Structure 1
Amino acid sequence: MTEQRHGPVDDTRFPGLHRRGFLAAAGGVAASGALALAGCAGPGASDGSADGGGRPRRGGTLRAAFAGGGASETLDPHLTNLFADAARAKALFDKLADYGADLAAAPRLAASWEPNAGLDRWTVTLRKAAFHNGKPVTARDVLHSYRRIADPKQAFRAKASLEPIDLKASRARDARTVEFVLKRPTAEFPNILAAFGAYIVPEGAQDFDRNPVGSGPFRFVSFTPGRSAVFRRNDDYWDGPPHLDRLEILVANEESARVNSLLGGQVEYAHELTPTTARAHEGRGQIEIVRLPHSAMQAFAMKTDRAPFDDKRVREAFFLIADRKELVDGALSGAGEIGNDLFGKGYEYYADGLRQREPDLDRARHLLKKAGADGLRVTLDTSAVAAGFTEAASIFRDQAAKAGVHLKVRTGSKDSYWQDTLDSGTLCCYRSGAMPIESHFSQRLLSASTTNATKWRHKDFDALYRQAQSTRNKADRAAVFGRMQRRLYTEGGFLVWGFADWILGTARTVRGVAHKAPANTLDWARFDKVWLA
C-alpha cells in the first residue's frame, strides 16, 4: 500500500528547509547543503544476527539527511539534479551500469555488453530483474527510458550523454537483448549506460511522485517534496534484499541542522559536511566521519582563446606559480590532495606517471618576460558558489604577486556564476565532480563541447579523441588518452591544484558505508548495503 504524497511532518524538529544544494555546477559537485529530519524506529533486528562488527544485521530504519530542492522536488529519476535526488533515485531505480570507485563502468541491470568490430553497434544483454510491480525489466523498457530521456521537448539531464546513440535505429532483439546503433565508433560506450540520470523505468510510466515503480532495492512508501521520502525494503531485489527495513531520506538546508540532528540522534547519516565540522568531531567518539577521496577537482580555468592565456608560455607560468599544498591547506582546510593540472586523479586512465609540478617562481618570471607579460594584470573571477572558492582566489592572488603578477579578485553572483564564467572573463575558479576522464574530454575539451570553460579547441586533439574511441584494445586506447593528457599537462587551460574529499557523518551504529567511493559513483549513498549494528 502507498501513502499519500503530502503526509504530515513535524516541522518543529527540523529547522532550516529552503536553501538549495545543486549537484552539478559546471558539471561538478553540489555546492550547498541543507537538511530537515524526521524521527523513526530504532535498529531492532527483524531477523538475522548482530555481532556489533562486520556481519550485517537485518532490520531497522536509517534516516539520511541531504540538501534538498524545496517544493519543486520530484521522484522522476530523469530529472535528478541534486544529491538528494540522486540518493532517492538509486533507492527506487537502476541503471544499466554505474561507475565504480575508479570511474570505470560496472554492469548493473546490464549483465554484459559486446561491441561489433567497428565499435558502432553494441549488444547489451539484460540480467533477470523485475520492477516492483512484478513485471520483468525488458529491452522495451530500456529503449522507452532512453527515448524518453532523449525527447527534444524535455530537459532531462542525461540527454547529452545519450547523444551518440541512434535511438531510432536501435532495437530490441528479444526481451532481454538490446542492440544499440551508434552514430560513430564509441569504445567507451559503457560510460553512456552509467551516465548520471540514465535510469530505467517501466514502459508507459508516468506517475513518479504518487506511485513510482522501479527495479531498485527499495519500494515507495511516501514522498513530501522538500521534506521527506520514505521507502521500504524490496525483498525481491535482483542484487539481494537490503539489510534495512526502511529508509528515510530527509531534507534540511543548513549544515548545522544536519550535524545537530546527527549528534542528537534524529538521523543516522548526514551528507555533505565541511572540513571544519569534520575536524571538530573526528575521533571524538560521538559520530563517525567518512571521507570520500578524489570527489571534486579544484582548479583555475584559463581561457586559451584570449589574451593573456592565448600564449602557452603564460599558461605554463601560471602552472609554476601555484603552490598546490598551500591551496589545499588553506582553501580546503587540508581535506584533499594536491593536483597536477589534470582531471581525474585516481580514476581509470589517469596519467599518474607525469612529474608532480612544484612552484618555480624564477621560471615563471622568465616565461612571462619572454611572452612580453612583465607586470601582467589579470582579473580572477570567483564566487561563494562553492566551498573554498573565495579562499582559493585570495591565496592564489598572493602567490601570483610573488611572481610579479597582479591578480584582481572579482566576486560574482552565486546564482549566475557558472553561466557568467563559461564564456566571459579570462581566469576563474572552477570545480568538477566525479566523471570518467573520457567524459571530461568529450564534455569540456573538444571543439564542439558545450561546457568548454577553457575554450580549448584543437583539431588534432579532437582527432586523438576520435582515435581513442575507435580503438578496441584497451591498452592501446589508454595510450591515446595518455597522449591527450600529456598535451593538457604541457599547455592546457585547467590549472588543477587539488582534489577535495567529500565528507559524510554517520552514527556510530551505522555499518557498510563505502569509504572510497567518490560522490556520484555506485557505492556512494548506496543504502541497500548499509546496516545498523
Structure 2
Amino acid sequence: MKKKLLAIISIATLLFLAACSGGNESSSAGEGSDTNDQGIESFTYASLTDAVGLSPILTNDSASANVTDHVYEKLFERNAETMEIEPQLAESYENPDENTWIIKLKQGVKFHDGTDFNADAVKYTFDKLRDPATAAPRASLMEPVDTITVVDDYTVEIKTKYPYGPFLASLSHSNAAIVSPEADQNGDINKDPVGTGPFKFVSWVPGDQVVLEANKDYRDGAPAIQKLIFKVVPEISTAISMLQTGEVQFIDKLPTEQIERVEGLKNVNVEKVDGTPQYYFTVNHSKEEFQDAELREALASAIDRDAFISKMKGLGIRSDSVIGSKVFGYKEEADNAGTPYDLEKAKELVKKNGYDKKTYTLLSPNRNNFILMSEVVQAQLTEAGFNVNIESMEWASFLDTARDGNYDMTFLSWSNLTADGSELFYPNFHSDNVGASNRAQYSNPEFDQLVEQSRTTTDQEKRLEILDQANRLMLEDHAIVNMYHDVVTAAMENSYKGLILEPTGKWNLSEVTRK
C-alpha cells in the first residue's frame, strides 16, 4: 500500500513539474535571460570612444557621461517625455527671492561606499566644481553661484550673484552630479567613481571596457541588468555587426549612411526621437569682410537646406530656428523666420558686390555628416558664383582651429544638454565667449543684452519672450544658417524593452528588462 501511495505521489509530482515548466520550454534559459526573478546577467553597449574619465567634475565628453549618468545622480533631471525639470536627489525647492534657492534633499539615500548623501555632499561637490583650482571643464554651470550654505543635514541654500533663470537646468546637467566627498578625498573618483545611482562601478580597462554592476540597495529597486558593460568598439560598422550577432545589445548615434542597414536587422528595434542637438553653418564674424551684411545674406540665400535634409534619410529636422523644438525658448513661428533659399538673389548679390573675386575656405571636421554638409554646401555656393575650397581636419584640431578663428566659414554643432535657450546662446554666440566656446566669433551688443536678460530673470514666461527675440535677431542678421536639428537614434536587441532615450541624446538603461 505504501509503495502504491508513493508511486501515485511521484507521478503527481512529475505532472506538476511538467505543467510548471511550460511544456517544451526549457526551465534553464541560460545567460542574460530571466529578468523579473534573476535579472539580466549581462548587457553590453558598444561605445565608439573610450571614456576620458569617470568623475562628473573633471570630464565633459559624451563617452564619459554615458557611464557617469548610470553611477551618479543630480539634484534635478529633465523628464525625457515632457522635457520638464523634476527633482531627482532633491525633494523640493523654494525661490523666496530671485537670488535665493532653498533645496530640500531626499533622506535615507546612501552613496555606494555606504556614506550618507546629504547637504554637506552637495556643498562639497558644487564648491569643488566651481573652485578655479579644480579646472573643471563645466565650472561655468556654477558661475552664477555666490554662496552655498548647509542649513541642516537635508537642506541647502544657494545664493546667486544675480537672478539666474536657467539655474535648475544647470543643476540637471551631467556635470552637476553629486559625488561622495569621502571617496573623492580619499581616492580617485576619476578612476573609481562613487555615486548614488542605480549602478556601481566594478572596473575599467582603458581602451577596452568599463564594467558596472546593479546597485542592489538602490532606493527605487535594483536594475534588472546585473552587469552593464561599456565596450569600446571604434568602428560603427563593427558595432552594428556585433549587434546583429548578439555580441552587444545596444548602440546609439546611428549615422545616416548606416540607418537602413540597422533598420533591416531582424533582431533589432530602432528608436528615434526629435532631439536637441543642432548643426549650423557660420561665417567667421571676427573677420572684417564678414561684417558685410549683404555677403552674409548672399551666402544664406545660396544654401538650400531642403536639398541637404533630403539626403539625411529622416535623421534631420528642417527648421530655420536657432532654438530647436525640444529646447526652452522655441516658438513654432521661428521655423520659417530665417533667410529663405533664393538662388537668383544670391547670384545677384555675388555679381553686384564682386564676391566671386575671392576664394573662401570652408573648414570641416572629418566626420560623417559634416563631410556631407560641406560637399553639398560647397556645390550650392559654387552655383551661386562663390569660389569655395574645403579644408578638412580631425575633430580635436578642428575645434582648436575654429576656437582661434582661423577660418572663413565652417559648420558647428551643439548638443544642448540643458535644453535651455540661454545655455545655447550664451556659450555659443555671446561676445563674452569669443575665443572660447563662441567659435562663430559672433559679437552683437543688442543680442548680448537680450541673452543677459534671458539669464537674469527667473520669470520663465518673460524668458521665453526674450529668447524668441534673440533668436529672431540672429536670423535677421543672417548670423548663421541652421542646417538641421538632430533626430536622436538608438538600436537595441528586440528581446529587451525599457530604454529611456532622451531628446538630448542621453539615454538610461536602468529600466531595461527582457520582454
Q: TM-score range by the shorter chain?
A: 0.7 to 0.9
CA drift of 1:464 comes to 1.7
1:441 to 407, 425, 428: 425
Per the alignment, in what secondary structure is the counterpart of residue 353 of structure 1?
helix
Q: 1:452 to 1:401 in 2, by over 3 A?
A: same
Q: Of 76, 83, 87, which aligns to 2:62?
A: 83
Letter paired with 2:162: R
1:67-82 aligned within 5 A = 67-69=48-50, 73-82=52-61
Measured in 2, the distance between the counterparts of 1:406 and 1:149 equals 47
Q: Distance in 2 between matches of 1:313 and 1:106?
A: 45
Output the CA distance in 2 between the equivalents of 1:334 and 1:251.
Answer: 27
Structure 1 residues 402 and 381: alpha-carbon distance in aligned structure 2, compared to 1, 3 A threshold: closer
Instruction: Identify the residue that residue 346 of structure 2 maps to in structure 1.
Output: 364
Amino acid at match of 1:191: A
Whether 1:530 aligns to 2:512 is yes
- TM-superposed CA distance for 1:46, in Å, is 5.7
Corresponding residue of 1:45 = 34
Distance 1:228 1:411, change over 3 A: closer
Q: Which residue of 1 aligns with 2:464?
A: 478
State the match for 2:370 in structure 1: 389
Q: Identify which range, 150-159 or 214-223, moves more after superposition.
A: 150-159
Q: 1:516 to 1:466 in 2, by over 3 A?
A: closer
The alpha-carbon distance between structure 1 residues 259 and 374, as it changes in their structure 2 partners (threshold 3 A), is closer
Asked if 2 retains the 8 angstrom alpha-carbon contact of 1:80 and 1:89, the reply is no
1:483 is displaced (CA, Å) by: 0.7
Distance 2:243 2:444 in 1: 50
Contact (CA 8 Å) 1:341, 1:494: kept in 2 or not?
no
Q: Secondary structure of 1:402's partner? A: helix
| 2:402 aligned with 1:421 | yes
Match of 1:164 among 125, 131, 144: 144
Structure 2 counterparts to residues 251-330 of structure 1, below 5 A: 251-330=232-311
Q: Which has the higher helix share?
A: 2
Letter of the structure 2 residue corresponding to residue 110 of structure 1: A
Q: For 1:391, give the aligned amino acid.
A: L
Are 2:103 and 1:114 equivalent residues in the alignment? Answer: no
Task: Give the 5 Å matches for 1:8-87.
Answer: 42-45=31-34, 47-48=36-37, 58-69=39-50, 73-87=52-66
Counterpart position of 2:131: 151
Distance 1:191 1:429 in 2: 26
How far 1:149 moved relative to its partner?
A: 1.8
Residue by residue over 1:54-99, the C-alpha shift from the partner in whole angstroms, topping out at 9 and shown as x without a partner, is xxx94432111112337xx432232334433112111111111233
Give the counterpart of 1:187 among 153, 165, 184: 165
Distance 1:383 1:443 in 2: 21
- Structure 1 residues 250-276: Cα deviation after superposition (integer angstroms, max 9, x where no partner): 212111221121111111112333222
Percent of aligned pairs with the same amino acid: 22
| 1:125 paired to 2:129 | no
Q: Contact 1:275 / 1:503 at 8 angstroms: preserved in 2?
A: no
Equivalent position SS for 2:133? coil
1:205 matched residue in structure 2: 183
**Contact 1:133–1:213 (Cα < 8 Å) also in 2:** yes
Match of 2:327 in 1: 347
How far apart, in 2, do the equivalents of 1:485 and 1:46 lie? Answer: 47
**Greater mean deviation of Cα atoms: 351-360 or 321-330:** 351-360
Residues 1:460 and 2:460 are matched in the alignment: no
The offset of 1:493, in angstroms, is 2.1
Write out per-residue CA displacement over residues 310-343 of structure 1, whole angstroms, 9 at most, x where no aligned residue: 122222222221111212233x454212231514
Change (3 A) 1:315 1:373: same
Larger deviation, residues 257-266 vs 99-108? 99-108
Contact 1:299 1:497 in 2 (8 A): yes
Aligned length: 475
Work out the CA distance in 2 between the residues paired with 1:475 and 1:209: 39
User: Could you tell me whether the CA contact under 8 Å between 2:366 and 2:395 is conserved in 1?
Assistant: yes
Counterpart of 2:379 in structure 1 is 398
Q: 1:258 to 1:341 in 2, by over 3 A?
A: same
What's the CA shift for 1:306? 2.2
Measured on the aligned residues, the alpha-carbon RMSD in Å equals 2.5
What is the rounded CA distance, in whole Å, between the counterparts of 1:459 and 1:209 in structure 2? 40
Classify the secondary structure of the residue corresponding to 1:180.
strand
Residue ranges of structure 1 left out of the alignment (5+ in a row): 1-40, 49-56
SS at 1:178 equivalent: strand
1:503 equivalent in structure 2: 489
8 A Cα contact 1:104 1:191, kept in partner: no
SS in 2 for 1:528: coil
Partner of 2:17: none
Provide the secondary structure at the position in 1 that maps to 2:310. Answer: helix
Distance 1:211 1:352 in 2: 45
> Shift in Å at residue 445 of structure 1?
1.7
Residues 450-479 of structure 1: per-residue CA shift (max 9 Å, x gap): 311222222222222232233333212211
Q: Which amino acid aligns with 2:106?
A: R
3-state secondary structure, aligned to 1:294: strand
**Normalising to structure 1: TM-score of the pair?**
0.82
Does 267-276 or 372-381 show the bigger shift? 372-381
Q: Are residues 458 and 403 of structure 1, via their aligned partners in 2, closer, same or farther at CA, if it must alter by over 3 Å?
A: same
**Alignment check: 8 A CA contact 2:321 2:471 kept:** no
Corresponding letter in the other structure for 2:225: L
Paired residue type of 2:204: F
RCO comparison, higher one (Cα < 8 Å, 6+): 1
Separation in 2 of the partners of 1:527 and 1:373?
56
In 2, Cα distance between the equivalents of 1:391 and 1:510?
34
Which deviations, in whole Å up to 9, do the C-alpha atoms of 1:156-193 show, x marking residues without a partner?
Answer: 22212211112xx3211111111112122202211221
Q: Deviations over 1:120-161 (max 9, x none)?
A: 221122122221233331111011111222232333222122
Gaps of 5+ in 2: 1-29
CA shift in 2, pair 1:407/1:293, >3 Å? same
Identify which of 98, 101, 105 aligns with 2:77. Answer: 98
TM-score (norm 2): 0.85
Structure 1 residue 201: deviation in Å? 0.8
> CA–CA distance in 1 between the matches of 2:482 and 2:294?
17
User: Once the two structures are superposed, what CA deviation does each residue of 1:410-462 show, in whole Å capped at 9, x if it has no partner?
Assistant: 22344411111221222112122233221111111222123112222222222
Shift of 1:231: 2.1
Q: Distance in 1 between matches of 2:68 and 2:335?
A: 41
Distance in 1 (alpha carbons) for counterparts of 2:180 and 2:382: 59
